[in-house]
């Protein structure tokens, strides 16, 4: 699903709002008036009669950087003022700056670093921040800055202040790549950029310590992972991607952990890739993924 064309004249237009007749026609008309050629267009409506409308349009516009302000003004007049829609205009060439938070588990972190280096993820990794020093040497092999910010019990506010000093103004997305700390609502508000988290998913679910041991004891047949946006409600943010893999009684706790790590890597890399390609549109507690 990742788009390989990041030409400087390629753009993306994300539109959301109350559904009504004429939205697609008006979007196309404004782009055409400015000389843009639509490359792809995806749209969805929760209900054609009074529902919510979502659209992602990829277009090519010669000399787009010079024409962006004028195009944005026309879209604001037509989509914003006239139709009451929210929209975002993005230059495809501008890769999102991403920070990764991690604790000691390295499987999600190293997978994202590796995929980014291979060009599979359309992003720039600005830094890795950890509450433990263990993974510093491995991260530096990717020529990515590594910062150790300890989180002392009873003084999380001091750690979050230091983290914010590193992040603010330097990142467009924060990914919790198995970061085993709860981030506060104050941290999320002050950071002001989306945050994506990954965690295991069992059917049935097992919360707390030792989930794989308890899952084995209950004879689970599916293990999986969920990637979601982070809100103050911990793991209840809008879901971006999920996947599962079958397991059986023959597999040990270690086998379950290995398979769980495999699916976590895949689910998180998909979620991050889709976000960086502007494929995920948040709408309250849910998401639309094109």
Residues 6 or more apart whose CB falls under 8 angstroms from that of 260 comprise: 200, 212, 223, 224, 225
235 catalytically annotated: yes
Q: How many of the other CB atoms lie within 10 Å of CB of 29?
A: 13
Name the active-site residue from 106, 235, 243, 262: 235
Q: How far apart are CA 258 and CA 198, in angstroms?
A: 15
The two three-digit tokens of residue 193, written as one number: 């950029």
For residues 90 and 278, the answer to whether their CB atoms sit within 8 Å is: yes
> DSSP string of 130-172?
ESSSTTHHHHHTTT--EEE----TT-HHHHHHHHHHHHTTT-S
For residues 240 and 289, the answer to whether their CB atoms sit within 8 Å is: yes
The phi, psi pair for 281, rounded to 5°, reads -110, 120
Q: How far apart are CA 117 and CA 101, in angstroms?
A: 18
Q: How does 17-26 read in b/e, with b if 16+ C-beta sit within 10 Å?
A: bebbeebeeb
Active site residues: 235
């Amino acid at each position: 699903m990742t788009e390989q064309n990041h030409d400087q004249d390629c753009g993306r237009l994300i539109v959301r709002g109350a559904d009504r007749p004429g939205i697609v026609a008006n979007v196309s008309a404004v782009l055409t008036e400015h000389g843009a050629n639509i490359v792809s267009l995806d749209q969805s409506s929760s209900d054609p009669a009074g529902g919510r409308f979502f659209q992602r349009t990829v277009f090519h516009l010669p000399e787009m950087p010079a024409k962006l302000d004028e195009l944005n003004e026309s879209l604001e007049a037509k989509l914003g003022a006239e139709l009451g829609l929210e929209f975002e205009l993005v230059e495809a060439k501008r890769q999102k700056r991403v920070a990764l938070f991690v604790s000691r588990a390295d499987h999600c972190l190293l997978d994202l670093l590796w995929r980014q280096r291979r060009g599979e993820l359309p992003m720039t990794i600005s830094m890795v921040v950890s509450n433990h020093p263990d993974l510093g040497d491995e991260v530096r092999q990717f020529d990515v800055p590594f910062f150790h910010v300890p989180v002392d019990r009873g003084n999380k506010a001091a750690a979050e202040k230091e983290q914010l000093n590193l992040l603010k103004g330097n990142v467009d997305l924060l990914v919790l790549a198995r970061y085993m700390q709860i981030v506060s609502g104050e941290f999320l508000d002050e950071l002001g950029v989306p945050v994506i988290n990954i965690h295991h998913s069992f059917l049935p679910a097992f919360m707390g310590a030792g989930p794989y041991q308890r899952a084995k004891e209950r004879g689970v047949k599916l293990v999986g992972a969920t990637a979601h946006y982070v809100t103050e409600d911990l793991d209840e943010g809008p879901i971006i991607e999920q996947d599962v893999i079958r397991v059986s009684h023959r597999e040990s706790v270690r086998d379950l952990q290995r398979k769980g790590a495999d699916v976590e890597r895949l689910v998180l890399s998909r979620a991050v890739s889709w976000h960086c390609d502007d494929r995920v549109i948040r709408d309250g507690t849910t998401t639309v993924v094109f």
